[in-house]
Structure 1
Amino acid sequence: MTVPAALPDLGAYRRFVVAFSGGKDSLAALLHLLSLGVPTHAIELHHHDVDGHGPTFMDWPCTPAYVRAIADHFGIALYVSWREGGFAHELARDDAPTAPIVFETPTGIGRAGGNGPAGTRGLFPQTSSDLRMRWCSPALKIDVLAAAIRNQSRFLDGHTLVITGERAEESPSRARYATLEPHRTSTLARAVDHWRPVHKWTERLIWDAIAQARIRPHPAYVLGWGRLSCRACIFGSPDQ
């Protein structure tokens, strides 16, 4: 299997944060990280619950258990984060601020946000590569991880590498993503890089890595779905 050219100096990082949906691409990114010799004690799986840790609305009901099973199998720490009320609350937001973000930490539960300007959503996520229109990913995933990193002092200690599973093959906009770049949370005081290790991989390479590791994929794939992203993303956006 070909290693991407933009391979970071893995020895320079104290911790490796894998944004883990339970889907095939984030799973392959995790497996690749392990194949490169990164110790499990240095890896954290961060799962963003798009339904807000409440009743199932848009995610697969089995996803939390699947994500937990993968973390337990490898002996890797798992932290779950969510925006209060999740997808349903943001969809119905009417003259109210975007809800606060809640995130698990090694010592308890953290909270951030919820004090922004009032606004009204009332729209389903649009089919667009513009994150202002395709709000599901930023509001319920990207911003959630960023808040969890920005609001924990432990990320000020040593370098952090954030790993996500976007692939160039998925869409023209994703093809333009950098394989390695500073993460949106990186500052002079907080050193955080963003690596997309499977960015140049084909879907065939993704499935080969999972088969080689003898890992059972998420049940959605067994049912014939081509991708795992929450059902709003499957139906509402070509870039999820």
Structure 2
Amino acid sequence: MTIRIAMWSGPRNLSTAMMYSFAARGDCRVVDEPFYAAYLDQTGACHPMRDAVLRSQDRDPERVAETLISPVLEPVFYQKHMAHHMLPGWNDAWMAAVQHVFLIRHPARVVASDARKREAPVLDDLGFVQQTQIFDQVGGGVVVDSSDIRADPSDMLPKLCNKIGVPWTENMLSWSAGGHSGDGIWAAHWYNAVHASTGFDGAEGILPVLEGAYADLVDAAMPHYEALAAHKIT
């Protein structure tokens, strides 16, 4: 039986490195943000490489969901999801067939990083609200903080594997530079740093100090981050 892992994250949150980590196991299929084109199609959101993303993926959320629960050969199926890609009203029956993991990161770090790639991010773009909504919707799940993983991946990743019932392997600590065949087409815009990596970056430094609208955005996201952080693996 395949263990299916829905990893719910927001942007700029170690999510691609985590996908590479699971892909490096050798027994795991990965999929990169499968609902992205459907989200762009239905919201009309203007994102970098929008047209290329729409051409690269199925835009029908029902068909996308079916691929996430259909039989696969691998014993582990890792699904990298952006929480804000799941729109209200979509059929969520598929969620009962997967394990839910929530990858969180302090809002100040997320906002500072996202602002370097995109002008004027707003709360709905960052996934904090949607993460807490999905957590409540599915009745909880495993929560892991990206800063804890970066601080000590050889400690946190075995704990995560134990929680989701997959065997730990040190293969998860490193991968080949240059990207993965499962990368979404948007990798050319967003993944340059992780493509140059062969493992997790070291521990994060002090929190960035933000001002103005960026500081307001951090304040709005904090209650959602803290609600999930109360449940995180330690």
> Normalising TM by the smaller chain, what interval?
0.3 to 0.5
TM-score by length of 1: 0.35
Greater relative CO, 1 or 2 (CA 8 Å, sep 6+): 2
